């Protein structure tokens, strides 16, 4: 049975929660491999809506073990609140497992993130304010706390005593709140007591599941264009949402990945600052935003909306070695007379077909569009590709051609049943991508 990575091909919010939920019936384990509570997965389950930030959405299924991998930064307060919320709504959380080596996102990380963003004023990254950058920075600087440390008061005291003076110095200089060692240690000990039963050696859990022939889903948060290495730096998150991140953050080797399913929406959105060449600021964009409910799950910020951009799609397919695609929210485009698709850029008077690694070049990129006639009929009830309006099929074929890999699932509404399935089988060797 395969290990499948689910990865966002845009700026996050592609609907990965629905993809996981859709595939969940056939999998035994879902592993989150990076990010923290900056992510928001919305899963519609009958008449219930679940908004999850840390716990993988597989938790909604009693047969699935939901694993928070070593690559995640865990805010214990958020995790505990989420476990309580799920329990109060009748969901069994006993199969949630948290890697002992995942890093702890501490209250001073949140304070530092917010104070730093405030200082940046007009140069803001537009972070979610959840402390993600400072937590990953401490991990890289080897001064972070890991989840297992929450179980040992003396380790907590030693570590927090060592790091807190520096944190407080910076916070005080930014005019922000400072922290006391004792209060933080007490808080961390309480978190440890509450979470002890969930901590595990996640790498071996995943390896054992694969050895036993279970289908393991590795679920990325955010998206390729927010990747620390491959995204539009510095307007990125501080982890690696790309499929390679599933290996480092999920406890598997690259050759154990059988399929990489890329997830994308039929248009583009972005939250926070940074270049967005196909951004729409007119009423067409406003219409898409309101029909698509494009509001951040974590921050409630309105998402910026634009036409689909095939330039980063081709790049995302390449850097993730995408083998199949789920296309979400094509129903939101119904009723738009003309649909545009970004196919290349013009930069300084020259045509550019490749996603530029240079941030300043991306900032100067003007989109070159192909225009497609739209369709007016609603498509929520369509369950077979051939029943889509001809113009919708034409648009979909164009996306598939740019991607160079098959679109195997097409979502026409938020519910699991509102999905068009094309027959496909997981493949280790993806078709070649034109670069
Ligand atoms: P951070 O991850 O909070 O540090 O934010 C860095 C950038 O990533 C900002 O532009 C955020 O808006 C963006 N970001 C972080 N998480 C998400 C997400 O789940 N969806 C969309 N954008 C996100």
Is the distance from CB of 65 to CB of 205 less than 8 angstroms? Answer: yes
Question: Which of 197, 213, 230 is the last residue before a domain boundary?
Answer: 197
Residue nearest to atom 19 of ligand 1 (CA): 39
Does the CB atom of residue 235 touch ligand 1 within 6 A? yes
Residue 126 is part of a domain; what is its CATH number? 1.10.300.10
Q: Both 142 and 164 in a single domain? A: yes
Q: Both 218 and 341 in a single domain? A: yes
Catalytic site positions? 13, 41
CA dihedral 426, 225, 312, 244 (to 10 degrees): -40
Alpha carbon of 419 to ligand 1 centroid (Å): 27
**272, 273, 297, 304: residue to mutate for ligand 1 pocket, most atoms within 8 A of CB:** 272
Does the CB atom of residue 134 touch ligand 1 within 6 A? no
Alpha carbon of 79 to ligand 1 centroid (Å): 18
- 90 is written with which tokens? 């009748």
H runs (alpha helix) in 4-106: 16-23, 76-88
Is residue 98 assigned to a domain?
no
Question: Which of 145, 164, 197 is the last residue before a domain boundary?
Answer: 197
Low-confidence ranges of the chain (pLDDT < 50): 428
Does the CB atom of residue 226 touch ligand 1 within 6 A? yes
CA angle 342, 343, 346 (to 5 degrees): 85
Could you tell me the pTM of the whole model? 0.95
Q: Both 178 and 220 in a single domain? A: no
Residue 247 is part of a domain; what is its CATH number? 3.90.170.10
Q: Both 281 and 364 in a single domain? A: yes
Is the distance from CB of 258 to CB of 4 less than 8 angstroms? Answer: yes
Alpha carbon of 208 to ligand 1 centroid (Å): 32
Structural domain count, the chain: 2
Burial 23-36 (b: 16+ CB within 10 A, else e): bbeebbbbbbbbbb
Nearest to 251 by CA among 133, 55, 101: 101
Does the CB atom of residue 225 touch ligand 1 within 6 A? no
Is residue 426 assigned to a domain?
no
CA distances from 95 to 18, 43, 62 (A): 20, 18, 8
Is residue 433 assigned to a domain?
no
Does the CB atom of residue 34 touch ligand 1 within 6 A? no
Q: Both 264 and 186 in a single domain? A: no
Does the CB atom of residue 127 touch ligand 1 within 6 A? yes
Question: Which of 160, 178, 197 is the last residue before a domain boundary?
Answer: 197
Task: Look at residue 431 in the predicted model and tell me its pLDDT.
Answer: 52
Does the CB atom of residue 112 touch ligand 1 within 6 A? no
Nearest to 73 by CA among 42, 38, 108: 38
Q: Both 264 and 375 in a single domain? A: yes
Task: Look at residue 47 in the predicted model and tell me its pLDDT.
Answer: 84
Is residue 435 assigned to a domain?
no
Is residue 432 assigned to a domain?
no
Does the CB atom of residue 133 touch ligand 1 within 6 A? yes
Backbone angles phi, psi at 333, to 5 degrees: -85, -10
- 246 is written with which tokens? 């599933």
Alpha carbon of 97 to ligand 1 centroid (Å): 24
Count of beta carbons in the 10 Å neighbourhood of residue 201: 16
Q: Both 243 and 367 in a single domain? A: yes
Task: Look at residue 92 in the predicted model and tell me its pLDDT.
Answer: 96
Count of beta carbons in the 10 Å neighbourhood of residue 236: 23
Residue nearest to atom 20 of ligand 1 (CA): 12
Atom of ligand 1 nearest to the CA of 129: 3
Alpha carbon of 175 to ligand 1 centroid (Å): 24
Q: Both 216 and 353 in a single domain? A: yes
Is residue 138 assigned to a domain?
yes
Q: Both 320 and 332 in a single domain? A: yes
Q: Both 341 and 401 in a single domain? A: yes
Is residue 360 assigned to a domain?
yes
Is residue 247 assigned to a domain?
yes
Task: Look at residue 425 in the predicted model and tell me its pLDDT.
Answer: 58
Nearest to 15 by CA among 250, 237, 384, 261: 261
Q: Both 182 and 312 in a single domain? A: no
Q: Both 9 and 126 in a single domain? A: no
Question: For residue 184, what are the domain limits?
Answer: 103-197
Task: Look at residue 357 in the predicted model and tell me its pLDDT.
Answer: 84
Indicate the pairing of strand 259-265 with strand 65-68.
Answer: unpaired
């Amino acid at each position: 049975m395969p290990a499948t990575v689910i990865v966002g091909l845009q700026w996050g919010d592609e609907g990965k929660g629905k993809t996981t939920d859709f595939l969940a019936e056939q999998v035994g384990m879902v592993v989150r491999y990076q990010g923290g509570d900056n992510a928001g997965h919305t899963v519609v389950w009958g008449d219930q809506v679940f908004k999850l930030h840390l716990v993988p959405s597989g938790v909604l299924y009693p047969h699935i073990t939901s694993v928070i991998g070593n690559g995640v930064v865990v805010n214990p307060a958020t995790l505990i609140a989420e476990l309580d919320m799920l329990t109060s709504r009748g969901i069994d959380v006993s199969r949630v497992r948290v890697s002992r080596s995942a890093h702890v996102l501490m209250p001073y990380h949140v304070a530092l993130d917010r104070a730093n963003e405030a200082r940046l004023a007009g140069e803001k990254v537009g972070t979610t304010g959840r402390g993600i950058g400072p937590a990953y920075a401490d991990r890289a600087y080897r001064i972070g706390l890991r989840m297992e440390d929450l179980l040992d008061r003396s380790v907590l005291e030693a570590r927090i005593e060592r790091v807190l003076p520096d944190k407080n110095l910076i916070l005080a200089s930014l005019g922000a709140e400072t922290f006391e060692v004792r209060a933080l240690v007490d808080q961390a000990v309480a978190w440890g007591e509450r979470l002890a039963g969930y901590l595990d050696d996640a790498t071996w859990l995943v390896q054992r599941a694969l050895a036993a022939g279970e289908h393991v889903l590795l679920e990325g948060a955010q998206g390729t264009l927010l990747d620390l290495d491959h995204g539009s730096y510095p307007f990125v998150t501080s982890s690696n949402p790309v499929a390679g991140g599933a290996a480092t953050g999920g406890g598997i080797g690259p050759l154990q990945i059988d399929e990489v399913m890329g997830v994308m929406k039929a248009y583009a959105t972005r939250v926070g600052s940074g270049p967005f060449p196909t951004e729409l600021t007119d009423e067409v964009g406003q219409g898409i935003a309101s029909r698509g409910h494009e509001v951040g799950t974590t921050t409630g910020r309105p998402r910026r909306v634009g036409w689909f951009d095939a330039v980063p799609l081709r790049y995302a397919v390449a850097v993730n070695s995408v083998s199949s695609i789920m296309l979400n929210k094509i129903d939101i485009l119904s009723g738009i007379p003309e649909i545009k698709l970004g196919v290349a850029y013009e930069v300084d008077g020259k045509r550019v077909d490749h996603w530029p690694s240079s941030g300043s070049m991306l900032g100067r990129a003007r989109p070159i569009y192909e225009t497609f006639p739209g369709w007016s009929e609603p498509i929520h009830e369509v369950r077979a590709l051939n029943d889509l309006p001809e113009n919708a099929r034409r648009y979909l074929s164009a996306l598939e051609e740019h991607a160079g890999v098959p679109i195997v699932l097409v979502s026409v509404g938020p519910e699991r049943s509102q999905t068009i399935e094309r027959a496909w089988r997981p493949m280790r060797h993806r078709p070649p991508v034109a670069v």
